[in-house]
Amino acid sequence: MEDLTPLTNLQQIPEGAPRKKKMTERQPLLLQSDASDYEGSRGSAARPVRSSPPDNTLVNVHSEDSLAASGSGDDEIGSTDKSYNPTHHRDLEHPTSNFDTLVHLLKGNIGTGILAMPDAFKNAGLYVGLFGTMIMGAICTHCMHMLVNCSHELCRRFQQPSLDFSEVAYCSFESGPLGLRRYSMLARRIVTTFLFITQIGFCCVYFLFVALNIKDVMDHYYKMPVQIYLLIMLGPMILLNLVRNLKYLTPVSLVAALLTVAGLAITFSYMLVDLPDVHTVKPVATWATLPLYFGTAIYAFEGIGVVLPLENNMRTPEDFGGTTGVLNTGMVIVACLYTAVGFFGYLKYGEHVEGSITLNLPQGDTLSQLVRISMAVAIFLSYTLQFYVPVNIVEPFVRSHFDTTRAKDLSATVLRVVLVTFTFLLATCIPNLGSIISLVGAVSSSALALIAPPIIEVITFYNVGYGRFNWMLWKDVLILIFGLCGFVFGTWASLAQILNDRTH
């Protein structure tokens, strides 16, 4: 589930500036005040691009001006005021409890990716998938801790109560070595770009997932190409995504969550019945398919974008980290669920497992048909929340090119139609669900979850030190190499599979 209940947006209020009204947790992503600020800046320096993390709907927004003002002077940038505690300066109207945060974390990590884990195990082998998924979960969780620690360090350094993912990248370079400070805006834009690519990829997966599950149900009565189902979905999807206020989508999100839980529970009941012997499946797959496993697994674990907004909005953020904190507790649950679905799904269906485990359920069984329909409806309704992220990255830029309110609103509507149609076209061009999941994971998820955090940590702590024998540096280099290898080979293998499918 990549959808996440809207969180409170944390805004830094510069000293002496008029205080803005607090945001409520159900306000839309792009506030009118923010949009007008952006639109009024065409004649001056450009404001930062608004961005949201993957699977999340609200982020913290600060301008580069406020960040630079907090760390003005080369001698001050890079020095940390240990007396400044960012958590004491957060102005929250509706802070979340530890349990609320745990639920959001689970929702932010469990979605279509979990249904693709049996296909990932097929590409890795039963035991490589079993231990590899646990190791992947541990690495991704550690990278989340790295991002949170860097955020805390940079918040103290820049006297900011909170930062989002792209702002952490910006501030790390801005306070890093002198030769890298010129690339601070580039770092922000790269992270924002990968956030956009990730969310567009999620939307494509959602589109294709719904079409394939509906097709699987309808094939029992009348067979049509999957492209026809995609085309039928296009109109309702466009209409649903013209809704701009998230408060109207809260009931939709609740229904989607309930349907997802019910669908997963019934799917487990099918997988755990009449399991074959472990010798009926491959313990280790070939080297050629391992990159596909990496792409799918990292896609499933790619919840790093929700980490900072969740921690920023906690009533007791000190409970987020730590050995038994909210982050570790949630990610252990996520890793166990992923491992269980992948292990038993592959063991049950073997080499015939599909890109989504729901496609392997008995075709003529009424209960399995209900599972497909419920999961398809849940993902269809969740698409809108995922779509809010990329549209609100681009919408302020598009609106800034028009002068009248009517023209701005019309351009925003056209943008939504174009982006939904774009995800439809991508889903139509790549009708293999497993391939598109692996490609999204290898390209963008690996960049955000495994490549960006070690780079940010190395730059953030370059003047503080990397610990005894530079253990932090060596650890970050190893994670970076692992992420880069997964990025290159995973992308190559996914593209090769997609091209091979299209030539047959």
Tens digit of pLDDT for each residue in 273-290?
A: 889 998 999 999 988 899
> What is residue 172's predicted lDDT score, i.e. its pLDDT?
95
How much is the CA Rg of the chain, to the nearest whole Å? 22
* pLDDT category of residue 5 using cuts at 50, 70 and 90: very low
What mean pLDDT comes out for the span 413-427? 92
Q: Would you say the pTM of this structure is higher than 0.85?
A: no
Q: Which CATH superfamily is domain 32-502 in?
A: Amino acid/polyamine transporter I (1.20.1740.10)
Task: Please say if the pLDDT value at position 249 is more than 70.
Answer: no
What distance in Å separates the CA atoms of residue 176 and residue 421, rounded to the nearest whole number?
A: 41
Task: Please say if the pLDDT value at position 231 is more than 90.
Answer: yes
Q: Which token pair is 421?
A: 């149609």
Chain segment 145-204, per-residue pLDDT in tens: 999 999 999 999 998 998 989 999 999 999 999 999 999 999 999 999 998 988 888 889
What mean pLDDT comes out for the span 318-331? 91
Place of tokens 């997802």: 260
Q: Quick one: angle between helices 471-502 and 126-158, nearest 10? A: 130
> What is residue 469's predicted lDDT score, i.e. its pLDDT?
83
What mean pLDDT comes out for the span 69-93? 64
What distance in Å separates the CA atoms of residue 14 and residue 320, rounded to the nearest whole number?
A: 27
Task: Please say if the pLDDT value at position 109 is more than 90.
Answer: no
Backbone φ/ψ region at 67: left (φ over 0), alpha (ψ -120 to 50), beta? alpha
* pLDDT category of residue 325 using cuts at 50, 70 and 90: very high
What distance in Å separates the CA atoms of residue 64 and residue 166, rounded to the nearest whole number?
A: 11
**Range of weakest confidence among 91-95, 407-411, 442-446:** 91-95
> Contact at 8 Å (CB) between 230 and 436?
no
Q: Which token pair is 60?
A: 């913290």
> Contact at 8 Å (CB) between 380 and 233?
yes
Burial 21-50 (b: 16+ CB within 10 A, else e): eebebebbbbbeebbeebbeeeeeeebbbb
Task: Please say if the pLDDT value at position 335 is more than 70.
Answer: yes
What distance in Å separates the CA atoms of residue 112 and residue 53, rounded to the nearest whole number?
A: 17
H helix runs in 13-62, sequence order: 32-39
- More confident of the two residues 62 and 367: 367
> What is residue 20's predicted lDDT score, i.e. its pLDDT?
40
What distance in Å separates the CA atoms of residue 354 and residue 345, rounded to the nearest whole number?
A: 10
AA identity, residue 43: G
Place of tokens 């082998």: 125
* pLDDT category of residue 255 using cuts at 50, 70 and 90: confident
> What is residue 230's predicted lDDT score, i.e. its pLDDT?
92
